[in-house]
Every structure is written in C-alpha cells, then in structure tokens.
Amino acid sequence: MSPVVARVVPDVTGLDKQFDYLVPDAWREDVGAGTVVRVGLAGRRVGGWVVAVGPPDPDVPAAKLRPLAKVTGHGPSAALIDLAAWASRRWAAGRLRPFLLAASPPRAVPALPAPAVTAGRPGPVDAGAARLLAGGGGVVRRPPSADPVPVVLAAAAVGPTLIVTPSVDQARLLGARLRRAGLSVAVVPRDWAAAAGGVDVVVGARAAAWAPMPVVGAVVVLDEHDEALQEERAPTWHARDVAVERARRAAAPCVLVSPVPTLNALDWAGDRVSAPTRNEERAGWPILEVVDRRNDEPWRRSLVSSPLIKALRDPERTVVCVLNAPGRARRLACRSCRALQRCERCQAAVAQTRDGLLRCARCGTERPVVCQVCGSSALVVLRPGVSGLREELEAAAGRPVVEITGDSADEAADAAAAVFVGTEAVLHRVPRADVVAFLDIDDELLAPRFRADEQALVLLARAARVLGPRADGGRLLVQTRLPHHEVLDAVLHADPGRLSGPALARRRELGLPPVRALAVLSGAGAEELAGALRTDPTVAVAGPADGRYLVRAADPDALGAALAAAPRPASRVRVEVDPPRI
C-alpha cells in the first residue's frame, strides 16, 4: 500500500504552520479531515487537527516523516475547516488555530452518539420569520420583550437548526425551553458530541457558530445587535458573519433576529426584512420620558432631575439608574482656585476612584486629593461618577440605593433593595424594574465612536427588556440636552427604522462599515504594514493617529485579500478587522 499522510495544524499558540505525519495503516479508517490527534513536534507531544489527508508531499523528505502519535477523537468537519480558512482570511488572522479551537469539543470525543431527530410540531411559529426562511432568510425585527421561541420554531420546521445567542445563560435557558417543547436539543459546548451526532436544535453562545452539525437546515442568530457576538481579541471574528457564511455554504436559510438590527445586518438582508406591525412594535417598547436638561437652571449641575426624584420617592417602584462613569467623580475642580484637576504626567483630566484617590484614566498615575495648583484639599465635583452619585440618589430617594459594579456580586444586598445605580452592567444584573433612568444619555449619543448611535439604541433596547412591554407600565427615563436626537426619536416612536436611514447616510459619507470594510492596525509593526498596504490600489490607508492606521476597502473580501497579500512585518502588528469600538 502507498503511504498516506495527514496534514496537521498543531495546537500551539504562535505557531502558524502545518506539518505532515504518516497515518499508520491500522488508523486509516479513523483519520480524516477534522480528526483530533496527538503528534510529536520538536521533541514534545502536542495536540493538533488533521486538516487534510492524502499522498505524501514531494517537498517533504520521506526520512523526516514520523507517524501520528495518537488518534484522540472527533473534531471540526471538513466543511468547518473550510469555513475556518475563510474566516482566517476574512479577519486577517493568518492562522487557523483560533477557529479550529472554537470548532472543537472541550474534551475528547472518541465516538459520536446516534442521531436524535424528532418529527413533531412543537408550537406556534412566527409567520414573518417563516416567510423569510422560505425565501432564504433575512432580518427579523421584533420588539425588545418579544419571545424568540416562535422564530426558533419556524426555523426548526425547516430542518436541523443552529441557534447562536450572545450569552451562555440565554443559550441554556432557551435550550431548556425547546427541550420542554419536545425538540431534541444540544447546548454547546457541553453537548458537543450530541450536536455532532445530529439533533433538532443546536444552541450556544458566540462559539456555537462553529458547532458541529451533520446537516445544517437553518441558522438563527438571536440579538444580532449584541456586541458579545464578536470576539474582542484579534482575530475579532463576529458570530453573526460566521453564521451567515456558514448558512450560505450549506444553502440553508439564515435569520438574524433583533429589536434593533445593526446596519451590517440590514445591509446583508437588503429587502428581506420582517418587521412587526406598528401596533405590535409600540406594545413591545416602554414609554419614553425625555427630561430636557437644557431647561436646568444654569447653576444646577446635578444629574438628579425632579422627574427622577419623583420616581425615586415612589416606594412602590423599582428604579435602575444608569451612568457610564465608574468611581466617585469623573471631573473635579479646586474649590478655592477653581483649577480643573489634571494629571501631572500627561495632562488628562483625573477622576476620583472609589477609594478616594485621584487617578488619571489615560496613564494610570494616582495622587492624593490635593489641588495641583494651590495645594488645597477641598475639591468640587463637576461631574459625578456612580459611587458619588449613589449618596446623592439615596438622599433624594429617602430609601437605600445599591451600587452595582462590574465585579461585585452581593446578591443579598441586591435582593433587599429597590433602587440601583451603576454603569450599563446594571442592566444585566437587575432582572426587572419599573423605571430605568439614563442620567446622561448624551455620553452615549455623543461618544466618539462611529457606532455610537447604534450602541446607544442597543442600550435603550436592553433597558426596554428590563422594563417589559408597554402594558407593564414601565418607564424609560432619559436625561439629555439632545431631546430630538434620532436615537431618542426612534425609541419614542418605538420604531428603530427611524435611525437606520440617517445612520447609513453618515456611514456612507465617512466611508465606514457596512458601506466600506474597515481594519485598524496597531503595534510596533503597524507602520511597516501600513506602508506596504499604501502600494495596494484596492485599499485606502489613513493615519497614523495615536499610533494606529485605518485601512478601508470596498468590502470584507477585498480587505481580506489585501491584508493577506501584504508581507507581514517581523515586529508585532495587531490587525483588527471590523473593529468593534472605534
């Protein structure tokens, strides 16, 4: 018999090469593209993935070939390996490993269970979603508090369905409900083997876009707008885009579901959008109360307005206050000499931390609470942070106010209280409220990020979910100096579509996604890579600004091709394609 070799991607970080190994005759049946193996490499044993099997490469001297050391079990299928190669190019990763890792079981899977596919009618389906699924898929817009299950059931009626959600908790909860409805369900990564064997529904968080399925009948991405769907470390792959491409390759319909679909999703869908009726959508959003801060008396700097005080004082109501400013104070001035307090090293404004020190947000330098100009220790707060605000709110409310921070998890204190204050993390921690107040929504509306408008709307949709449908009587209170901003207008009319048009026009004007594809280069080698890309007529390079370069291309494919073609510098470069926060 002629020898058979396996091309293996070793599971070793920073090693983006593939190596050939002999497949022992006894294992020929067990080894194919996607098999997880162990191999000897440079004197040690490492895990790896077989990405291809075939005759020996004539460029590799036969004497160097060593046999595979062990067959561990099942891994990503050939189709997923191809998808990983696509993603590697799409997000300029230059390696397969991060994607193969996402597509692999958490533990060895020596054998797959038999398929467990049911044939039932588990419940009513969403008509709009069903229509889209029949036509290849699209965007399904549904109000914030709408139940996703009818959409999922519409997809499950088409065939084995892959569902991607932003969080593991959401996936588990949904999995349990679908199981109760009579479907066979695999929640990945836990039930990886069952998913690979074949079930009605595979559900999981971001990495579920890479879950194993013998047949992909339909794909659903829930809360498509949620930034948790994007990997934050490079390669910054987005589960929505992976899911869309996977569905396309499988010729399966894909639906992206969200109360506030992103421009990326709408751009992909074109006219394949299902929106609720005006009445349904209005019923699914809470009433918006806009507090116009331009009416504040000029001497009044407080973020606690009278409509907010009214809500705080009502003992019957659970109130959540959101301010994206951690710490005691964000901006301070000296009481005696009026000097704005800045960092002595880098001149940025200093903030006061929870433990009372002054800290520079840019360089991290800390100093005690002393005016750098006159030495006075009496400072006035120009702009409070969450910790400082808590006391002010408590005084106004006349009842306990609990600060919720990103890390603290004092469930007991949470349960006893009815007024909460925190950064946006508070919206993930408090399940239900009667009032959600954004103390300074302008922070979000005016944030210097190109997706600021979308992200502000996402925040408001999250609050809407905490408040429940309009019939529950919850109130979304926003304090602003921009009462007619498109984002607030969209929420006021419970019509996210009002933002899409103007926002897309701005993106077009500025050459930003989804109109053009974008990458950010940073790190020591950024300059060199940017220089190489400047000779490529298919991309436009801007910068440097803050040591970073922006690279634009007509679309993600062109961007990926240009980044793959440019020689990688020896020094480190971080390439962020579709940068989530710019």
Nearer to DNA, 7 or 177 (CB): 7
Q: Least distance (Å) from DNA to the CB of residue 69?
A: 10
What single letter denotes the amino acid at residue 513?
P
Residues whose CB is less than 8 angstroms from the CB of residue 112 and which lie 6 or more positions away in sequence, other chains included: 74, 193, 196, 197
Tell which phi-psi region holds residue 285, choosing left (phi > 0), alpha (psi between -120 and 50) or beta.
beta
Q: Least distance (Å) from DNA to the CB of residue 26?
A: 18
Task: Evaluate whether 481 touches 291 at the Cβ level (below 8 Å).
Answer: no
Nearer to DNA, 18 or 167 (CB): 18
Nearer to DNA, 60 or 363 (CB): 60
Name the residue among 263, 261, 288, 293 with its Cα closest to residue 274. 261
The 3-state DSSP class for residue 243 equals helix
The 3-state DSSP class for residue 436 equals strand
The 3-state DSSP class for residue 574 equals strand
Q: Least distance (Å) from DNA to the CB of residue 126?
A: 47
Dist CA 1 CA 479 (whole Å): 77
Q: Least distance (Å) from DNA to the CB of residue 207?
A: 21
**Residue 134 vs residues 95, 155, 252, 285: alpha-carbon distances, Å:** 36, 9, 10, 28
Nearer to DNA, 377 or 571 (CB): 571
Q: Least distance (Å) from DNA to the CB of residue 178?
A: 40
Name the residue among 201, 209, 216, 212 with its Cα closest to residue 148. 201
With 0-12 / 13-18 / 19 or more C-beta atoms within 10 angstroms meaning exposed / middle / buried, residue 382 is: middle
Task: Evaluate whether 210 touches 98 at the Cβ level (below 8 Å).
Answer: no
Q: Least distance (Å) from DNA to the CB of residue 13?
A: 4
Nearer to DNA, 12 or 339 (CB): 12
- Interacting residue ranges for DNA, rule: CB under 7 A: 7, 12-15, 17-21, 39-44, 57, 59-60, 64-66
Name the residue among 428, 427, 445 with its Cα closest to residue 436. 427
Q: Least distance (Å) from DNA to the CB of residue 61?
A: 8
**Structure-token match 């969080």, residue found:** 167
**H helix or E strand, kind and range, residue 167:** none
Q: Least distance (Å) from DNA to the CB of residue 78?
A: 19
Q: Least distance (Å) from DNA to the CB of residue 95?
A: 11
Q: Least distance (Å) from DNA to the CB of residue 44?
A: 6
**Residue 482 vs residues 295, 377, 447, 463, 478: alpha-carbon distances, Å:** 12, 35, 13, 19, 10
Nearer to DNA, 41 or 83 (CB): 41
In degrees, rounded to 5, the angle at the alpha carbon of residue 247 between the alpha carbons of residues 504 and 153 is 95
Q: How many CA atoms are closer than 13 Å to the CA of 395, on its beta-carbon side?
A: 6
Q: Least distance (Å) from DNA to the CB of residue 521?
A: 20
Nearer to DNA, 67 or 543 (CB): 67
Nearer to DNA, 63 or 119 (CB): 63
Nearer to DNA, 14 or 135 (CB): 14
> Cα dihedral sign for 429, 432, 434, 440?
positive
Q: Least distance (Å) from DNA to the CB of residue 565?
A: 22
Nearer to DNA, 66 or 335 (CB): 66
The 3-state DSSP class for residue 273 equals strand
Nearer to DNA, 180 or 572 (CB): 572
Nearer to DNA, 46 or 564 (CB): 46
| C-beta neighbour count of 37 within 10 angstroms | 25
Dist CA 343 CA 364 (whole Å): 9
Task: Evaluate whether 274 touches 139 at the Cβ level (below 8 Å).
Answer: yes
Nearer to DNA, 57 or 555 (CB): 57
Cα-based torsion angle of the residue sequence 213, 118, 115, 153 in order, rounded to the nearest 10 degrees: 10
Q: Least distance (Å) from DNA to the CB of residue 568?
A: 13
Residues whose CB is less than 8 angstroms from the CB of residue 3 and which lie 6 or more positions away in sequence, other chains included: 22, 23, 55, 56, 65
**H helix or E strand, kind and range, residue 186:** strand 185-187
Q: Least distance (Å) from DNA to the CB of residue 193?
A: 29
Nearer to DNA, 58 or 315 (CB): 58
